[in-house]
Amino acid sequence: MDRGLTNNDMLAIGLTGGIGSGKTQVSDHFAELGVPIIDTDIIARERVAPGQPALADIATAFGRDILTPEGHLNRRALRQLIFDQPDKRRQLEEILHPRIRAEVRSRLRTLATPWCIIVIPLLLESTQQDLVQRILLVDAPAELQLSRTMLRDNVEADEVRKIMASQASRQSRLDLADDVIVNEGSLEQLWQEVEKMYQFYNHLASSCQNH
C-alpha cells in the first residue's frame, strides 16, 4: 500500500482490528519490546476531558445533556446518540479527528526510533489511513471477539453483536491490511506472532532507511 510519509524517516504502522480482537494485548507486547506506541483512543479521551475545547464543541453540537452533572463527557449517552445516526457520528468525527491527527503528528515528531505503532481501532472505517504507511490487522474469529469482550466487559452478547455489526466486516479488514496477526490461540502464541512481526518491521524500517 502506498501512503505518504508522516515525517522524514519514520515508518508508522497503523494497528487496527475489531472489538475484542486483541489490539491492546498486541500493542502492550510491542511496547514491552521497546516500540513507541501512539494510541488514538487515549488521545481522544484526553481531548474530551473537562476544559478541553473539543468537549465544549461536543456540548455545543449535541446539547448539554451529553455531559454528566460534573461536566464530564457522558460516553454512554454519546455512544447511544451516534450509534444509529451516521450524520451525528460524522459531526463527532469532524470535531475529534483533526485534533487527534494534530496530536499524532506532533508526537511522531518527538520520536527518534525507525518505526512506531499508531493504534487506530477504527482505521478502516475512518479517514485516518494517511497517518500510516502500513496497516497491521489483529484478526480473530467473530465467536472469539464476542466471548472475549463479554468476559472482559461483563456485557451481554447482544450489546457486543450490535457493535460488531457497526464495524467493518472481517473480510473487508483482511482485504485492506498489509500485515495480519491472527489471534485465535493462547496469549503465548499471540506474543510469538507479535515478536515475528517485530523482527519483520525492524528489517523493513532498516531497509527503508537504506534506500
> What is residue 169's three-state secondary structure?
coil
Among 12, 14, 15, 23, which residue interacts with ligand ATP (rule: CB under 6 A)? 23
Task: Using the structure block, give the residue that is written with the C-alpha cell 519490546.
Answer: 33
Q: Which residue among 10, 11, 15, 19 contacts ligand ATP (CB under 6 A)?
A: 19
Helix (H) or strand (E) holding 14: strand 11-16
Q: Does 126 bind ligand ATP (CB under 6 A)?
A: no
Closest CA to 133 of 145, 142, 120: 120
- Considering only 29, 148, 170, 173, the residue that binds ligand ATP (CB under 6 A) is 148
| Alpha helix positions (H), the chain | 23-32, 40-47, 53-62, 75-83, 86-110, 142-153, 157-166, 170-176, 187-209
Which one, 24 or 202, has the nearer CB to ligand ATP? Answer: 24
Residue 121 lies near ligand ATP (rule: CB under 6 A): yes
Tell me the residue length of the chain.
211
User: Is residue 40 near ligand ATP by the rule CB under 6 A?
Assistant: no
Distance of closest approach, residue 190 Cβ to ligand ATP, in angstroms: 5
Q: Which span (20-28, 64-72, 73-81, 98-106) binds ligand ATP, by CB under 6 A? A: 20-28
For residue 140 the three cell numbers come to: 480473530
Bridge partner list, 38: 118
Q: How far apart are CA 132 and CA 135, in angstroms?
A: 7
Residue selected from 21, 40, 128, 133 as contacting ligand ATP according to rule CB under 6 A: 21
Binding mask 151-190 for ligand ATP (x = CB under 6 A): -x------------------------------x--xx--x
Q: Is 22 a binder of ligand ATP (CB under 6 A)?
A: yes
Return the number of other C-beta atoms located less than 10 Å from residue 135's C-beta. 21
Which positions lie near ligand ATP, rule CB under 6 A?
17, 19-25, 121, 148-149, 152, 183, 186-187, 190
